[in-house]
Amino acid sequence: MLAVERRNRIVEMLQQQKRVVVSDLSRQFVVSEETIRRDLDLLDREGIATKSYGGAVFNETNNIELPFNLRKKTNVVGKQKIAELVKELIDDGDHIFLDASTTAVFIAKAIKEKKSLTVITNSLENMIELADVSGWNIIASGGKIREGHLALVGPGAVESIANFNSEKVFLSCKALDMQKGIMEGNEEIAQTKFVMMYHAMKKYLCVDHTKFDQIAFSRVCDAREITGIVTDVQPSEAWMAYFIRNNIEVYYPE
C-alpha cells in the first residue's frame, strides 16, 4: 500500500471513529509505529487531525478541506436519496448548472435517462460521468484545477460560467445557517457557486442533514435566495418554519 493510500484510509477511520491509536494502526497496516506517527504528523499539519497521546483525534471544523475521494464516501445513502429527488425536478431539454460537489456526482449518475439536457459544470468528475451520454450538450468551464477537489476554479471558471444562463442550478455547500447563509470552506469554490446561482432562474440547494446549522469560512449567498432545498431527511421545525416564511420549496424523502 502506498503512503498516500494509507493516509487516506486513516482519514476515513478518523471520520468514522473520531480517533485512532498508533499501535492499532501499526498492526493493521503492517508498518512501524514511527511510520504511523509521521502519517499523523502530516494530518495534524494539514488540520485534518489533532495528535494526542498515543494517537490522534478527528478535527471536525468545517474549514478543513478533505480530499474529494474521501468526501465522496461520506453519507452515500443520503446523497443517493437527494439525487433521486433532484431527478424529478429536471425536465427533458433543460439547461442546468451542476457544481463540483460530491453530491452533484450522484445527481449526474441519477439523471442520465433524461433527454437533450445541456449541463454546464466546473466538475471534472461530472464531465467524465456524463461523457458517454448520447444527445446531451456538456459544457466545461474554464479555470484552474483545485488540488484535491477535481474542480475548476478561479477567474477563468467564473468568467466562462457567466457566459451562460440556465433554467436551473443544482449545487451543494459545506455549511448552512439561517443568519450567515450558504457557505463554503474556500473562497474560490464559493465564487463559482455564486456565479452559477446568479445566472440560473431556479436555484436548488442539495444538502444532506449534516450541513444544517454549520458555519464555514466563505459565504456564497443568503439562504433566502434559493428557490428550493433538497435534503435527505425532514429538516427541523425551526428550519421548516424558515423555509415557509421565505417561500422556499422543501424536498425530502417521505
Amino acid letter at 7?
Answer: R
Length of the chain: 254
Position 74 scores a pLDDT of: 64
Which CATH number characterizes residue 31's domain? 1.10.10.10
Q: How far apart are CA 158 and CA 216, in angstroms?
A: 21
Same domain, 104 and 194: yes
Which CATH number characterizes residue 217's domain? 3.40.50.1360
Could you list the residue range(s) of the whole structural domain that residue 241 is in?
A: 69-251
Same domain, 35 and 94: no
Work out the pLDDT band at 199, boundaries 50, 70, 90. Answer: very high
In this prediction, residues 101-122 reach a mean pLDDT of: 96
Same domain, 103 and 14: no
Position 73 scores a pLDDT of: 55
Position 3 scores a pLDDT of: 85
Same domain, 145 and 190: yes
Same domain, 119 and 15: no
Q: Which of 35, 60, 85 is the last residue of a domain?
A: 60
Same domain, 78 and 173: yes
Position 88 scores a pLDDT of: 97
Position 99 scores a pLDDT of: 97
Is 132 a residue whose pLDDT tops 90?
yes
Q: Which of 37, 60, 83 is the last residue of a domain?
A: 60
Position 229 scores a pLDDT of: 98
Is 196 a residue whose pLDDT tops 60?
yes
Instruction: Report how many domains make up the chain.
Output: 2
In this prediction, residues 146-158 reach a mean pLDDT of: 88
Same domain, 153 and 209: yes
Position 140 scores a pLDDT of: 97
Position 61 scores a pLDDT of: 60
In this prediction, residues 209-227 reach a mean pLDDT of: 95
What are the pLDDT digits (tens) for 77-91? 889 999 999 999 999
pLDDT more than 70, % of the chain: 93
Same domain, 37 and 105: no
Q: Which of 40, 60, 80 is the last residue of a domain?
A: 60
DSSP states along the chain:
--HHHHHHHHHHHHHHHSEEEHHHHHHHHTS-HHHHHHHHHHHHHTTSEEEETTEEEE---TT----HHHHTTTTHHHHHHHHHHHHTT--TT-EEEE-SSHHHHHHHHHTTTSSS-EEEE-BHHHHHHHTT-TT-EEEE--SEEETTTTEEESHHHHHHHTT--EEEEEE--SEEETTTEEEESSHHHHHHHHHHHHTEEEEEEE--GGGBT---SEEEE-GGG-SEEE-SSPPPHHHHHHHHHTT-EEE---
Same domain, 49 and 73: no
Same domain, 74 and 46: no
Work out the pLDDT band at 193, boundaries 50, 70, 90. Answer: very high
Same domain, 15 and 99: no
Short-list 22, 53, 18, CA closest to 35: 22
Output the pTM of the full model: 0.79
Hunting for cell 478561479 — which residue is that? 154
Amino acid letter at 101?
Answer: S
Is 111 a residue whose pLDDT tops 90?
yes
Same domain, 46 and 137: no
